[in-house]
Amino acid sequence: MALLEWSKDYDTHIRVIDTDHQNLFDAINTLHDAHLANKGRERIGSVIETLRHYVVEHFEREEHFLEQAGYPDFVAHCAAHRDFSQLTDSLVTLYQQNPDLVDISKVIDFLGHWLTEHILKTDMQYVPYMRGEKQGIPREQPDQAKEQNEAYLTFTVPRDKADVITSFVDTVIGGDHAAESFEKAFRAAQEQLNQSKLARARKLFGLE
């Protein structure tokens, strides 16, 4: 019997979204079955990688639709996605480092609970906007970069952080010694943050 059973309660009636959600259900059920069958590290590791792929692909697709619909809680929704994506990234790294220290039962319980709660309590809030039953707020689209050596990036940040992030970007692309020093310091801080994320994953999924 599958761990997660799909029901009409999870239906958004948006075909591509429901298909993505069902694929995520299937991935978690596959992980559950592989664990129960004791199919070994490589099989379980492969399923975890596949799950992460589905998560990234689904979140990107869903956020694109939410942006087009002008969903008013877009920023908060994306923040929840980022947090979960970072956690799945850390899980993959943790399992690659030492699978014997990862409690797969904890992983399965956490992923199943997060996904079902996210669909029922968070995703259902955007359904009226995606289906055109409520009017969203169109988002401004910046001009795309025209130079071949430039990358066009678009992302949404909290309003109270916009000035800081803009200043950060301006400093990094300045191209002078200060920019190089700033980027080096940032990468060091980023490594510390990655270690903090791994520590969180160990706390959630590690063997006691």
Q: What percent of the chain has pLDDT over 90?
A: 59
The number of angstroms, rounded, from the C-alpha of 48 to the middle of its chain's C-alpha atoms is: 14
The reported pTM is 0.77
Residue-averaged pLDDT of the chain: 87
| Percent of the chain residues topping a pLDDT of 70 | 89
Domain presence at residue 159: no
- Residue 64, domain member (yes or no): yes
CATH classification of the domain holding 123: 1.20.120.50
Residue 54 resides in a domain: yes
Residue 186 inside a domain? The answer is no
Q: Classify residue 144: in a domain, yes or no.
A: no
- Flag whether 129 is in a domain: yes
Domain count, the chain: 1
The answer to the question of residue 15 being in a domain is yes
**Residue 43, domain member (yes or no):** yes
* Host domain of residue 14: 8-137
pLDDT tens profile 13-31: 999 999 999 999 999 999 9
pLDDT in tens, 36-64: 998 888 899 999 999 999 999 999 999 99
66-111-3 Cα angle (round to 5)? 115
DSSP state of 174: T
The separation between the first and the last C-alpha atoms of the chain, rounded to the nearest angstrom, is 28
CB-neighbour burial class of residue 113 (10 A; exposed 0-12, middle 13-18, buried 19+):
exposed
User: What pLDDT is stored for residue 82 in this prediction?
Assistant: 92
Beta-bridge partners for 206 = 102
For the stretch 179-201, pLDDT in tens is 777 778 778 887 888 888 888 88
| Of 7-21, 78-92, 157-171, minimum mean pLDDT range | 157-171
